[in-house]
Amino acid sequence: MSTVSCSTASSSRGCGTSFPSKTSSLPALNSPNLIRIGTNSQSDRLSSHRLTLVHENRKARSSTVPMALVDERQSTGQNVAHPPRILAYDLVQGDLVKWRWKEDKSVPDTPTAVLLHGILGSGKNWGTFARRLAREFPTWQFLLVDLRCHGDSASLKKRGPHSVASTASDVLKLVGQLRLTPRVLVGHSFGGKVVLSMVEQAAKPLPRPVRAWVLDATPGKVRAGGDGEDHPRELISFLRQLPKVVSSKNEVYNALMEEGFSNDVAQWVVTNLRSTGPSSSSFSWAFDLDGIAELYQSYEDTNLWNFVENLPRGVHVSFLKAERSLHRWALEDLQRIHAAEELASEEGGGVEMHVLEDAGHWVHTDNPDGLFRILSSSFQVLRP
């Protein structure tokens, strides 16, 4: 497995391509390639020789966003551009994907899918699932993004407002700068609305079909936190009351449990605590809680029903409802989606509704096999 590691914190150091050292164990033949773009150097994570590629400076491309959503070839010049500072991301590639350092217009665009996380998550939430997709569909690559105020992107200060629309714009600018042409967009919860906003903002008509997956989220009203369940707004509010620096992860875990949050949520939340230094015993949050509070408010306020009910030609939107996530779906939501299915088919677009059995809101962990089977249809068209 080859790894390209870039640091957005220091542009002068460029990107490094890493190869397994002779003394290290060889990766499995079916291991997908992983390209990590973060805000900090990843060198401490690699047991390999490093070849540094120094890049020429390039001016940022126009803010107009392509996407499949743009008919632009994924290619690089003879020198590799500086890693984008728009957002941090992982790029997981199947074995048959050829990462080209030189422009080669004879090679078709690599089919790309973008996977977006929900509130208080990060691109790593999709890591295991994306690697499975890359093994099964080796001609594809999967872009796992840390959205604004989350993960490694939290240190990349963004101007407000922090909203669904501005988050979508970030991702569109990122894929434009990377010269990717995503054919599939997958968003969980908050990320689902971001996916819808991405397609709404992209130029129309689209030059080629694009499929958007909205996982356990509706285009309009957010119905979260049923009886006895954790409510995201309450969780964000409570976390903002805690000290920004804590002495241990157990301190936060115990505080969440005492406040009545579930064990699963408490364990998940503390994974977002990071050491404040190499020799430090204290921890701070990996995300920007004030910005996330604003994002969640926008998630509740944003209504994209009009877009779903008037899809442009070439856009296919698939909604997935988790069987045990009843509080997030109302009869009105289901009726409007089914009505949109009929209307979209007449207009050359497409709307579909799926139900993931035996799963709560955390669809990619509750029933990864079922989710894999449902999503696979989007990637089978271009199998070798």
HSE on the CB side for 136, CA within 13 Å? 16
55-59, 191-195, 243-247, 290-294: least confidently modelled range: 55-59
Does the pLDDT value for residue 39 go beyond 50? no
Map tokens 């690697």 to a residue. Answer: 131
> Between β-strands 48-53 and 15-20, what pairing exists: parallel, antiparallel or unpaired?
antiparallel
Residue 384 or residue 370, greater confidence: 370
Helix (H, G, I), strand (E, B) or coil at 253: helix
Residue 383 has pLDDT above 60, yes or no: no
Q: Give residue 101's pLDDT.
A: 42
Q: What is the mean pLDDT of residues 28-44?
A: 48
- Residue 84 CA to residue 72 CA, distance in Å, equals 17
pLDDT of residue 179: 86
pLDDT digits (tens, 9 = 90+) for 266-311: 998 998 999 988 877 899 999 999 999 999 999 999 999 999 988 8
pLDDT score for 257: 95
Cα torsion 222, 354, 341, 194 to 10°: value is 40
pLDDT digits (tens, 9 = 90+) for 124-183: 999 999 999 999 999 999 999 999 999 999 989 888 899 999 999 999 999 988 888 899
31 band by pLDDT with thresholds 50, 70 and 90: low
Q: DSSP of 287-306, one letter per residue?
A: S-HHHHHHHHHHHHH---HH
> What average pLDDT score do residues 302-323 get?
90
d(CA 15, CA 52): 6
The full 3-state SS of 58-82, as one line of letters, equals CCCCCCCCCCCCCCCCCCCCCCCCC
Task: Please check whether residue 201 is in contact with residue 172, taking contact to mean a CB–CB distance below 8 angstroms.
Answer: yes
Average pLDDT, integer, range 35-48: 39
Give the long-range contacts of residues 226-232, CB within 8 A, separation 24 or more.
Answer: 226/326, 226/327, 229/262, 229/327, 230/261, 230/262, 230/265, 232/119, 232/120, 232/296
Q: What is the pLDDT of residue 346?
A: 59
The more confident residue out of 245 and 66 is 245
Side by side, the strands of the sheet bearing 182-188 are 48-53, 15-20, 3-7, 33-38, 89-93, 141-145, 112-116, 182-188, 210-215, 315-322, 350-356
Closest by CA position to 299, among listed 287, 307, 291:
291
| pLDDT bracket for residue 318 (50, 70, 90) | very high
Say yes or no to pLDDT of 36 above 60: no
In the predicted structure, residue 44 carries a pLDDT above the cut 50 = no
Closest CA to 59 of 41, 39, 84: 84
Q: What are the tens digits of pLDDT across the range 330-354?
A: 888 888 898 888 776 655 568 999 9
With 0-12 CB in 10 A as exposed, 13-18 as middle and 19+ as buried, what is 241?
Answer: exposed
pLDDT attached to residue 52: 23
